[in-house]
Amino acid sequence: MIMKKALAPTFLALSVGFFGGFGLSTMTAANAGDGNDKALPLEDLQRFTSVIEHIRDYYVQPVDDQHLFEHAIRGMLSSLDPHSSFLDPSEYEDLKESTSGKFGGLGIEVTMDESFIRVVSPIDNTPAFKAGVAAGDLIIRIDGASTKGLSLRKAVDIMRGEAGTDIELTIVREGEDTPLTFTITRDIIQVDSIRHKMLAKDYGYIRISQFQSKTGRQFKEALESLQDETESGHLKGLVLDLRNNPGGIFEASVEVADALIDADKLSDNKMLVYTEGRLPGAELKEQAHRGDMLEGAPVAVLINGGSASASEIVAGALQDHRRAVIMGTQSFGKGSVQTVLPLDEEYGLKLTTALYFTPNGRSIQAKGIEPDISIENITLPDGSKRSSAWSSIKESDLKGHLENTVEGDEAKVTTEEKFVFEPIADYQVQEALNLLKGLSILSSS
């Protein structure tokens, strides 16, 4: 868990859901109340107290006071947006586990979609991923029991359990006529956020599955390792795969973008990302520093509908500064920042406190990042299809999402015409590699 005692809070660039949610940021309780001395309305407080008293005195069955207050708090927060929530001791612990990259369960990021549970993305090499659960899947039953009306927290509690035990998920998937059933064995989820390999001579590939506290350092180590494998010590191009990356720690995304952007080659705008909000210390401006680990070698970034939050920060920064070509499909569109505010030693509040913007002033909230080159998933040689559900859910689809109020064409980004190629095993990665080779030829001619 990242805990900072400084007055300025750090932030969650967290995607939706709580099942293995990624990243944690906190601020001190003393600073949490700054900035608004307006007294709470007495009449409303009296009305609220009156409701509590009537429930205690006249409800058909006795009700625990703590139950009433906790659910009243949850109700207030759920009316704001899908990402603000009350954290009881168990939920606090969940966030601590997720930042370490190790936690128990199935390995999926989920959110509420109306009255059901929707999969945002499975995490690489976890039980859910290996079983075939896909981004966009709608979970309609857990162990045969309907999820309709089930709270997200309750669903997560049910899906978690002892490693080695089985759970049955029934899902509805776009393009399938009947529900699909998966029996998945729970496991301790140890997530490595970075994987890398050489795609071809002098062309590297790095996959970031989520942004953890150590991801920035690991990304730089992966770049160094790939360059060491080349004869010249320099890559001719890099494919950065952010598909189905639900987000994570804000600072990690900044580190990744900064490693590829040389401030000395930028004009007056050296911004990587900035945030705007009412919380004291919420307005951050992260700028690029001198140096580019690839020394200007071309970069292709892959995104899809499961790419959210911190992934979109990286893609947006690289796109605005024309440092990379963004390929794939439209990203999720989560442009809000969450801060964890301690209420006491056991309880906390995860509250949306700011919106983040790309270097050119784009808010991607409920809009997402549009790729420069749109490449859909295609039919494979064996006739099967890559799930179109990868892009079937967006921030704008979530009930109660924050609207994007930024208007105008202050940061237009062109989208090239979609190309058609022959199908191969990983179509998008191969086409990203083809693009890099073409760019390398052009730059050397």
Give catalytic residues, as residue numbers: 309, 320, 334
Q: What 3-state DSSP class applies to 325?
A: strand
Q: Can you tell me the distance from the alpha carbon of 288 to that of 259, in angstroms, rounded to the nearest whole number? A: 9
Q: What are phi and psi of 418, to 5 degrees?
A: -70, 135
Amino acid at the residue 411: A
Residues, the chain: 445
Q: Can you tell me the distance from the alpha carbon of 290 to that of 295, in angstroms, rounded to the nearest whole number? A: 11
Instruction: Find out whether 187 and 163 touch, Cβ atoms under 8 Å.
Output: yes
Q: Can you tell me the distance from the alpha carbon of 173 to that of 166, in angstroms, rounded to the nearest whole number? A: 21
Instruction: Find out whether 244 and 306 touch, Cβ atoms under 8 Å.
Output: yes
166-172 and 180-185 as β-strands: parallel, antiparallel, unpaired?
A: antiparallel
Is the alpha carbon torsion for 226, 374, 83, 122 positive or negative?
A: negative
- Residue whose token pair is 């089985």: 166
Instruction: Find out whether 194 and 218 touch, Cβ atoms under 8 Å.
Output: yes
Amino acid at the residue 240: L
First to last CA, the chain: 49
Number of helices and strands in the chain (H, E): 10, 21
In sequence order, the β-bridge partners of residue 241 are 207, 302
Q: Can you tell me the distance from the alpha carbon of 203 to that of 208, in angstroms, rounded to the nearest whole number? A: 17
Q: Can you tell me the distance from the alpha carbon of 376 to that of 328, in angstroms, rounded to the nearest whole number? A: 6
User: Cα–chain-centroid distance for residue 183?
Assistant: 26
